[in-house]
Structure formats: structure tokens, C-alpha cells
Chains A and B, each alone.
Chain A
Amino acid sequence: MERSFKQEVEKLRLGDGEVFHGEAILAVTKALLQSGVSYVGGYQGAPVSHVMDVLNDARPILDELGVHVEANANEAGAAAMLGASINYPMRGAVAFKSTVGTNVASDALSNLASAGVRGGTLLVLGEDYGEGSSIIQERTHAFAMKSQIWLLDPRPNLPKIVEMVERGFELSEVSSTPVMLELRIRACHVQGSFRTKRNQAPRLSKKNLIENPDFDYNRICLPPATYLQEKLKVEVRWPAAVSFIREKKLNETFDGTMRDIGIVCQGGLYNAVIRALQTLGLADVFGCSKVPVYCMNVTYPLVPEEIVDFSKDKSSVLIVEEGQPAYIEDAVLATLRRADVNGVRVRGKDVLPLAGEYTGEVVLRGLAEFLHSKTEVNGIDALKSKAQSLLAAPVPARPPGFCVGCPERPVFSAMKVLEKETGGFHLSADIGCHLFSTLPPFNIGNTVLGYGLGLASNSAVHPSMRRRSVTIMGDGGFWHNGLTSGIANAVFNRNDGILVIMKNGYSSATGTQELPSSPQHSGVKQDISIERALQGIGVGWIRTVDNYGVGEVAKTLKEAMTTDYRGLKVIIAEGECMLEQQRRLRPQVAEKLKEGKRHVRVRYGVDEDTCTGDHSCIRLSGCPALTIKDSPDPLRRDPVATVIEGCVGCGLCGANAHAATLCPSFYRAEVIQNPSLWDRFVFALRGFFGGTAIH
């Protein structure tokens, strides 16, 4: 696990009236326990990975309460788990990244929402939209409407978020409908405090077992029950939700002196709106606004009466809704039209952009146009042009890349080496760290179609290609989806392609969470469940390679490209995530050093006299620790390659130089701490003969 939450976990024990201080996503976790949740599940992914990670670290507290925690294999599994609340009055929550996770979960969610729930069910969704996002840009709102699941979008403020978690469960129960809590990146990471309540032990749990199962045909998502469920959705559950939201005042209206106009915003954007109003001089530092604001902490369903009340006496209203399509704006317009409120002018996507994140600047510009105030915006433009002139040129883009010593980098180095011989091949990429291969210096990867879907996305490519094509899939994607959608599909359809499975041992890109094939899961260093699952499914050509042996990897790839074997060829590229390996080894090494035991640390370096300065080694690696410096030779003007302090001694630079027959400038050094007598003797001997340790 990337991060340990042992300290934060203690905050989960806070009782009545104490003060919790910290990150919002941890506040959500505490709120779940305050709500008497029986079970929690999910799948990791920013910005909600921490929910699962914290709960994993909090197992003792959860066991005391009787709360069951499950790390689901994917989001579909997590959503299906909520099925427990269809039959039994148990509260359950799951967390995942959206929209990708909601996509994967959507079939289970359709069934869950149709059947309806007895116990409150809450989906904590990390809305990864906008310019910090790592995925495709889409809105979770679409799923709320599609499946009729209520959507909470609390304003980013801890007491409000905690209240919405607690109310969310109640809303779910009074309307027999699952509820989604949508948290944007900023909402997840906002810091603040709230007054806590005691944790509630769930009524039904692994400590209070259920004796008899519940059978009710109307809770099964099959016809003819589904026809009844569809009617219940609109005739019973919907009105129940709307009246609960009104009664409990889940949405907030902030009055202001400028009664003639108003702003309707999604709760999650409230802070951005207030910041813009402050900049325009229309709100004070405490957030009191002169412009009335209707803050929708619930964005689905809307409450028509509240919208009409807010809008009817105004001349114009601005809707601040991030992303497209403009569901809320359409719904507000339809509501006003139905209520015959025709006097108010509704602005929205005509003054704000249709797509993209509503950052402070974007909201400010939109508000300025709505309010016909241009002055502050001109200030921003002036700042920007000043910055530009100071920098003189655009700052170079700094895309993410492989970590120092990453075991996936050598595989792409090997592909580069191979490409020289075989010519270019189509490569279907997948979600995971390995997708950084698409960035320089590799630029390898033609398409990406979702987590675990690399091989499936190759299925219409390979039959149309003269040369065999290659697919990359991580062990995370393999267990998430790829084994069925990709491998079973390829075996069944007799696909002749090549699949490289990057077995780094964890779901690394999300924070090195455990997989069925993780080293510590099976308790054996060389877990072979991937190999055995492949054999079981009927893959006839499987090779396992050690990633750092670039030459060997290239040879195996070449064999796969050229063999007469017809059928799927799988190469398992083995190499443990270097970050996780370092995390594991660092305390062990520290212990060893403390005990005064001998420890050898390997480092690599470049002999600056030998370096030709053509930097082929960098183009085959991209390791952040392999960079350039000025040549010490006054006769050579080009910089030479150099290995900087961050090097973890993976050896790729040397292996690359060897596999691609580059210049012999790399050397391997062993830094010996707490040397033995023999080490000292050898050292003395070497010093005597004046030699250096060159490998």
C-alpha cells in the first residue's frame, strides 16, 4: 500500500461532540460509521482511493463494530454487493472513481435501482472531471438520470458533507432508492473540521447474524416485477424523494440584497462561485453574497417548487453547471415552462463554456459576463501577459512518466530495440502505469479503450494487419476485466495476437493495492495464479520474462512475432513495482544498518570520458535519474549523460546499452555500508594496485 493511514484511523474513534479535523474524504469515512453502516466495499481510484485504504487500515475498529469490508475485484462487483440491501434493512456503502467506475458498475446499478432497496445504500463517487483528471471527461449525472439514482453534490465543507452522508442513507431508505454522493477532486481533499457523533454498531452485521432469508418476488429484477418497479420509480419513489429533500432542506438558499438576480449552482461548485463573487466585490471573506444563491446539494431529482420560488420574481438567473450536456439547465427550463414562469431570463451555457472544468477563472469570467462587469477579468489578463513576458517562452509540458527504476520501462525499451528489426507494429494499450509508454521517449501505443480492455480493443485490428499486433495489459486490468473480456474472448475467437501482461504485483497506479496475484496475497514470492488461470482457460503459448533483461525480453517478443504458432501468445513480464519494493525494503535496510550488518547498495553511473554524447541511452529509457550535464571536456560542447542521486540501481541503463549495442560508458558501482573485513581488505588491495571497480 502506497500510504499508511494508521494515524488518521484514530480519528474514526471520536465520540459525541468531539472535533474531527482533517480531509473531507476521511470525514466521509467517519460519517459512514456514524450512520451505522453494515458493510463497505469499493475499488480504488483517485480521488476516493483513500476511503478503501483507510478502511483497510481500520480493520480492528470495524471488527469491533461488526462492519464488513470488502476490496471488490472491480466496480461491478462493488455495485452488486449493494444487493444485500435489497432484501435486508442493512446500510451499505461502496466507493469508486467516476465515471469509469460507474461505467463498469452500471449494469449492477440498473438492477439495484430497479429492484429498490430496504437498507440505505450510498455510492461514494470520486467525480474525476476537469483538468486534473486522469480519465475521459463525462458526467456521473447521466447515470443518476438513466437509472433513477439520487445524486448528492454537497458544497465542499466538512459539516455539509457529513450531513449529506447521514441524510443520504435516510433519503435512500424513505425512497427505496440507491443514492450517489458525488465528490469532486477538490471536495475530497478540502480540509476542515466538524463535530463528531459516536459510531453506531449496525443492527444486522457479522456480529448480529440474520437467521432467515427474505423472499419477495417483487424484489427480483425480472419481468413482470420489472414493470411494477418502473412504475414504482416514478409514482412512489420519486415523490417520496422530492418531499424528503424539501422537508429536510437539503438544498440551501442564501439570500442577498440583489433580489432581482440569482445564481443556481451545483453544491460542489459553490466555493468557486463564492470565490468569483468575492473577486467581483459581491461577497465578503466569510462568503456572504449580495447575489442570492440557490445551492443544490441534491442535483437529482430537482425540487420544482424550490426552483420556481427562487426564480419567479427575478429578471434573470444564472445556472452554474459543470460539464456537458447541460442536464440541470434543461430541467430548470422545463420546470419553469411547466410552471408558466416565463418572465425570468435563464442564462447558463450561453455565458459559461459547455465543456471543461469550471475553475475559478472560468466561473469568474462567466459571472462577469452575466453581471456585465469586466474590470476584474481584465486584471487576470494583465497578470497572464506579465507572466508570459517574464518567462519569455511557454514552460515546457511536464507529462507524467515512469518512476525511477520502474520495471515496465525495460519492456518498452525492448520493444524499441525489436522495432528496429521487425518494423513498427500496432500496439493496443490499456489503463495503468504502462500507459506512460505513450509519452516520450517511447511514444508506443495506438489506442486505449478502458481498464482491462486492451486485448479486446485489438480484436478487429489483428485480422487486418500484415504484422502481428501487440497488446499491453497490467495485472490490475487482467483481474479487473481483461481475463474475460480480453483473454477468454481471444481464445474463443482464435485470436493470433500477442499479449504482454505487466506483472508488477499490484494495482500500482491507484496506490499499489493488492491483487489476487500480489506477492503478499499468496504469501509466495512467485505467485503463478495468472499463469495457471491462463492455462486453465486454454492459452497454449505462455512465456515469463524478467523485465530487466532487456535483450531476453526483446528476444521473446521477437519469437512471439515470428513463431508459426497460431493462437494467442502471452508474455508475462515480471518485475515488482519499484516504489513498492523500495517501501518494503527501506525499513529492512534501515534495520540492518542499525544492527551494523553489511549492506550493499547498487548504483549506476556514466563514465563521462567514454560517453559519446549522442543520448541514445536516454531515448531508450526516459528514466528521471538518467539525465544530462555539461561535458567536463572543454573540447566537447555537447552535454554528456549522467546518473543522478535518485538512481535505485535497477540496471536498465546498462542493459539497454548492451541490448542496443550503444557506447560502453555505463558502470555499475556497489556502495558497501558496514563493510566486512574482507571488503576492507579488497578495498585496500585495490587502492594498492590503483584500480577502479568497473563492471
Chain B
Amino acid sequence: MGEGETFRGEGILAVTKALLQSGVAYVGGYQGAPVSHLLDVMVQAREYMDELGVHVEACTNEASAAAMLGASIAYPMRGAVTWKSIVGTNVASDALSYLSTAGVMGGALIIAGEDYGEGASVALERTHAIALKSSMWLLDPRPNLPSIVRMVEKGFELSEATHSPVILELRIRACHVRGEFRASDNRAPAISTRRLLEDPAAFDYDRLSHPPATFRQEKLKAEVRLPAARRFVAAHRLNECFEGELANVGVIVQGGLYNNLLRALQGLGLASPFGATRVPILCLNVTYPLVPEEILAFCRSRSAVIVVEEGQPEFIEQDVATILRRGGAHARLHGKDLLQLAGEYTVEVLVRGLVRFLREHAPRVEIGAAEQWFSSVESVRKKASAILGGMLPPRPPGFCVGCPERPVFAALKLASREAGRPHISTDIGCHSFATFEPFSMGNSILGYGMSLASSAAVSPVMARRPLAIMGDGGFWHNGLLSGIASRLLNRGDGVLVIMKNGYASATGTQDLLSSPKNADRSIEGTLAGMGVGWIRTVDNYGVGEVAKTLKEAMTTDYRGLKVIIAEGECMLEQQRRLRPQVAEKLKEGKRHVRVRYGVDEDTCTGDHSCIRLSGCPALTIKDSPDPLRRDPVATVIEGCVGCGLCGENAHAATLCPSFYRAEVIQNPSLWDKAWNVLRQAVLPL
């Protein structure tokens, strides 16, 4: 899309477009909500990227991605990387320390998906802390496409003007907000895969983060780069001040919360749907560093100001407090005293805080609308619960239909019956759903790829041998070293189950080194190469076999690390791959057999052991057709993909023989038809 055209779509795609408009030379990252799409789009657009000369890399972890930005230390190349924060920023933090200390010549932008609040899948922490720690500037644009795009472009300039990496923090809502902006032409980078550098950068000791250069770099951060950043932010008016008639009070808000704030002010009757506000707002599209002059200018004439800042600790509020005290401004400062300290700042939370703030400092302002707003919220809630007739049962996420990881936990349940229940160190990935019903397996999670490492001190003190579960994603991300190499170095005992489903599945089935398209044995090869002496590979759907192998690992006399590679391709991805092939076959009129499972409702005993060993959404209950039996029977519904686990479970656990396997034949051959005729003829006899 070129100059003057209108881009319509999601926030995160607008960021992608803005990177190309900024002449980025390379892009990398690691997948994770809410920014997976950025990298997925780049990887899928590889041809076009080659045309522009942009190098795209899908990194094995965020540390690699951050280290990749090192190219901009020595060369005037713009680079961008993306990941989920806080977890990704954690993993990247060592490389970021070194990057920000050395400083950059080309603009370096980190697009961090801030996964905070009640939709988050990770530990609740703030990226802000890392920005402060390493003196990296933090952009937090208000969720609106033109603002986001401008902050990407200005972010590169800011990075270059101050020699510091810049973080663009996008919350879930900012990533997924829809809108439009006027596009400009993409810029081919000056140094790129199409315009190669002839010679390496001249040796420059001051670009190395190594003493004594580090001592000078630390001074540069405080004395040169920080003031330069403040000047740039002020000169380009990156923060926005929205005046309002209630000049005695004001709100200082993180850009990312601006939409919520406006919605809350609307609820109070103090703002219009178009954003005109009666309460003055200072919208911080840059939350680090703050510009003291801007803060003082906003606060000096007011009697009270509230800082709206999500998460804890309250970095911005404390910073503002220092600025006001040093600048001699006497505005009364509020923030976390009126708003909750932790948790997401939804509109309702903001309305409650603003009501307290305005009652105290603008008592004559009519905010009766707030009462109406609260009561309307309350009445909707009451109505909903009246209709539902009680609390809804929680619906935690779970394994997909046919997921190849479910059978492993079914087998583990069976093995535990005999060998005793082990301590299970679990990991990040789909397999962590085993912590929910019906398995409730997994005692702790310590981060992506960290399960085996987290059992290092459990293992020696347990009467029964503990178990660690790790996905192939976690294996390549971190687990190979933090877990496996460490256990080998310490000659420790233990059992590790590697779930090899072939992809980084939980983040959107991105490829791994060991993905099936490479028909790869690299996990086995690496383990054997490093010296693991006990390795077994099992087919997950063979529950009995898996249980036997698990039991063997849990009870064998072999001392040392025992690794079971539990093999079974991600069913979602398999179905995605097979579906077009099947459609093609059917279109061509070729024979196709589809396997489905079912429950014979006359045989079903109704004790539902089969469900407790599976939890498959396609295996559920229905009313018994037998008028003499009041308990419901098990049934397999339409979603079944024919993985066969229910039957396997029934067999391995010797449950009732009610499962049957059916083959649905489409485009039957003559032979099939003949069989069918024969069956129809014979069976009634």
C-alpha cells in the first residue's frame, strides 16, 4: 500500500506496515499473544520482504531476538523485534542490558505485547520496570491507529537521536483495536540483504559493553541520552494535552489507558463520544522518560491531579511526585490511593476512582451520571444472573478435541495408580492444561522451558521419583540447557516427558527446528549427543504403551535422567493440513474413509470413568434412552476427529466395552458398496 492510500485493519498489522514505512532493515521475534500476528505476517510475506531487502528471522527465544538488535550497535540499520511481555522481556533482559548500555546507531524498536490484566496468560508484571532498569524509552500510544503508527515512526527517530533502544508497549486492546490510517510508501532500507556492507565497522572500544567502557556508558545514559530523550519527546510533542473546562483538576494517564479513561468520563457525563472532555487530560504516549517541564506545566495551575497508571508498583506516580516536589508545584497528587493498586484498569475501576477524586476536589461538578451508570451496570448484572439462575460454572481452557497430549495424561493417571502419584513439575505450553480437571496434574510452573530445572531440588527429597513435563517449544526455547544440560552436569536422577507435537502450538503452531515438515529427529539426536543414556519414544495414542513406559521410567533402577519423547502431532495443525487434501480428494470423487467413535448407549454403565480419564470436549453426556435408568450416559458428539483415545482409555483402564469405532466412507468404491449390501442383507438375520 502506497502514499495516501487508506489502511484499514487491526492495530498490530498497522504496526507491521509502519515498520516498512520506516525503512526497517531486519525484523525478528518470538511468538506469543498479543503480538504473534506481527511475526506471522512477516514470515508469510517473506517474498515481499526479500524484494525490499528486509531480513526476517523467527528466533528460538526472546534472548536471541534482543541480541539480534546488536546489529544496530555498529551499523546505521533500523531493526525491530517483537515478543510477549513480561515473559519475553524477562528472557531478553540480559541482551537488552548489553544493548542499551552499548547504545545504538540505527533505530532499535522492541514491540512488546503487554499481557497484563484479566485476559493475561502470564505472571502479572510491568514492562515499565525493565525500561527503568536499562534506560530504554517506553512508548505507550493511545489505542488509535494513526497514533500507533506515528509512535512507531517517531520511535525509530527517538532511538537514533538518543542512541537508546525504544520499547513500544501495546496492551491486548491496543493490538486488536481496529481503525484506519493514511499510509505512506514503504522504504527499502539503505543497508540490507540487497545492499550489502562491504566492510565491517571500524573497531570501536566504546561500542562494547565491557569495562572500562561500561563506566562511561553508564554516565552517558544519565547525562547525555536521558536529557536528549526528554528534549526529543518535548520537541516532537509525543505526549498530548487535552484541555477541558474544569481547569482546577487534571488527569495524567498512560496513553494505552486513554480510551478506557474517556469511556469512564463518558460514564460520568464529562466527555462526549468524540473525545471532547471537560476534565483536562495529559496523555503520556511516552511513559519513560517523563518530561518534568510538561508535568509541571500541566500541574502548576491545578489544585489536584490524579495519575491513572495500571499495575504495580506505581512508577509514574512516584516519578511525578518527585517532579512536583523538586519543581515546587503544590497540586495535590492522587493515584493508587484512590484507584486499586493491582489488577487491570477496566472502565468500571476507573469510574469508581474518578468519582472519589472528583467528589473531593471538584465537589460542585455534577456527576450524577455516575450513579446512573453504576446502577445500569448493576442491573445488567442482576438481570444476567437472574436469567442464568445462579453462578456460571467456570470454564477454564482445556485440550482441544483429539489433542495428542491428552492421552499422555490419561496414561499418567493410570501409571500413578500403580506407581503412586509423583510430583509433577510442569511447563508453559498446551500441556499445562493438565493442571485443570479432569487431570489436576502439575504442582508448579516456573516459566517456559523451566520444568526440569524447577524439579532440581524436588528430585533429591522425594520418596517417589518426580516427573517433569516439557513441550518441544520449551525444549528449544530454554529447556535443553537450563533443564537437561544442568541435570547431566549434576548427574541427577529424574524423568522428563517431552511433548513433541511438532510446533509452538499454544502461540499459533509456529514452526520449530523439530517440526514435521523437516521430518526431524533433532530432539533425539541432541539428547543422545549430550549424553542422555535413557531415551524412549512413544506414540501418544497408545495409552497402554505410554503408561507402561511411564511406569518403567518411574521405577527403573537406572540412575540418571530418563527422557520419554511423547510423539503426536498437534491435532489442530494436522486437521488444517489434511482438510484441503481431503476436500480435494472428495472433489475428485476419490474414496475417503473418515473414522468416528461412538458410545453404545445400551452398554454404557453410566459411571463416566471414561470422561474422567479424558476430558475430551467431544466426549460428553446425554440423557439415557433407557426409561429405567435415570443417570445420563456417555456420548460422542459431532466434533470427534477420530483420534481413538476414548477407546484406548477404556481398553487400557479396563472400563466398560461401550465404545465403538465407525468408518464413514465417502465416495465408496464398488467393493464398499457390495460389502454394504451384503451387510444389510446378513445382519437382520
Contact = CB atoms under 8 A, between A and B. Distances in A.
Nearest to B520: A538
Contacts of A76: 447, 450, 453, 478, 482
A459 B64 contact: yes
A279 interface: no
A424 B200 contact: yes
B632 interface: no
A382 interface: no
B21 interface: no
Nearest to A466: B196
Contacts of A458: 70
A435 interface: yes
Interface stretch (B168-176, B179-187, B317-325): B317-325
A557 interface: no
A537 B513 contact: yes
A138 B75 contact: no
B200 A133 contact: no
Interface string B509-528: 00111000000101011111
B456 interface: yes
Give the most central of B121, B210, B425, B478: most A CB within 10 Å.
Answer: B210
A476 B442 CA distance: 32
Contacts of A99: 97, 133
B212 to A, nearest CB: 7
Interface string B338-369: 00011100000000000000000000000000
Contacts of A68: 457, 460-461
Interface in A452-495: 453, 456-461, 463-467, 469, 479-481, 483-486, 488-489, 491-493
A114 B444 CA distance: 11
B282 interface: no
Contact of B75 (A334, A464, A488, A536): A464
Nearest to B205: A438
A133 B214 contact: yes
Interface stretch (B98-106, B149-157, B229-237): B98-106
Contacts of B447: 76, 80, 107-108, 110-111
B500 to A, nearest CB: 15
Given A205-B461, A226-B124, A464-B55, A71 B322 contact: no
Interface string B466-497: 10000000001110111101101110100000
B453 A456 contact: no
Nearest to A535: B529
Interface in B187-240: 191-193, 196-201, 203-205, 207-212, 214-215, 217-219, 221-223
Contacts of B209: 135-136, 448-449
Interface in B353-403: 394, 396
A77 B483 contact: yes
B64 A532 contact: no
A77 B486 CA distance: 8
A500 B70 CA distance: 18
A283 B539 CA distance: 75
A284 interface: no
B212 A215 contact: no
Interface string B104-142: 000000000000001011111110011011110000000
A355 B61 CA distance: 31
Given A146-B129, A227-B343, A450 B421 contact: no
B211 A464 contact: no
B200 A465 contact: yes
B28 interface: yes
B435 A217 contact: yes
Contacts of B98: 136, 448-450, 453
A536 B55 contact: no
Interface string B42-55: 00000000000001
Interface in B523-540: 524-531
A210 B317 contact: no
A212 B421 contact: yes
A85 B425 CA distance: 12
Interface string A350-381: 10011110000000000000000000000000
B68 A209 contact: no
Contacts of A522: 531
Contact of B77 (A215, A446, A464, A483): A464
A608 interface: no
B90 interface: yes
B443 interface: yes
Given A137-B218, A453-B63, A516-B530, A206 B461 contact: yes
Given A464-B71, A484-B480, A514-B489, A213 B443 contact: yes
Given A448-B208, A464-B71, A456 B95 contact: yes
Nearest to A350: B326
Interface string A316-344: 00000000111101110110011000000
A285 B267 CA distance: 66
Of the four ranges (under 10, 10 to 19, 20 to 34, 35 or more), the interface on chain A belongs to 35 or more
Interface string A182-216: 00000000000000000000001110111111110
Contacts of A529: 529-531
Contact of B214 (A136, A446, A457): A136
Nearest to A527: B531
Nearest to B99: A449
Contacts of A534: 529
Contacts of B445: 111, 115, 220-222
A543 B558 CA distance: 35
A645 B208 CA distance: 34
Interface string A421-443: 00111111100000100100001
Nearest to A443: B203
Nearest to A206: B460
Contacts of B333: 337
Nearest to A438: B208
A549 B102 CA distance: 34
Nearest to A518: B489
A92 B222 contact: no
Given A224-B396, A464-B77, A480-B481, A423 B199 contact: yes
Given A84-B458, A217-B435, A446-B207, A460 B526 contact: no
Contact of A535 (B64, B423, B440, B525): B525
A88 interface: yes
A464 B489 contact: no
A212 B423 CA distance: 8
B529 A533 contact: yes
Contact of A214 (B71, B134, B443): B443
Interface in B593-611: none
B623 interface: no
B663 interface: no
B545 interface: no
A134 interface: yes
A434 to B, nearest CB: 12
Given A107-B448, A142-B129, A536 B97 contact: no
A346 interface: yes
A445 interface: yes
B67 A444 contact: no
B574 to A, nearest CB: 21
Given A87-B443, A479-B481, 18 more contacts: A41-B456, A72-B453, A76-B453, A87-B444, A115-B444, A135-B214, A143-B133, A211-B464, A220-B445, A226-B122, A231-B343, A459-B67, A464-B77, A484-B477, A491-B513, A492-B513, A493-B58, A536-B522
Considering the complex of A and B, which 9 residue pairs feature the smallest CB-CB distances, nearest first? A532-B529, A536-B525, A146-B129, A142-B133, A73-B486, A457-B70, A536-B529, A83-B454, A536-B526
27 contacts: A38-B461, A41-B457, A83-B450, A83-B457, A135-B214, A136-B97, A137-B218, A138-B97, A142-B132, A210-B463, A220-B445, A223-B121, A337-B324, A427-B200, A435-B210, A448-B209, A449-B98, A457-B68, A464-B193, A465-B200, A467-B200, A485-B64, A488-B60, A493-B58, A532-B528, A535-B525, A536-B526
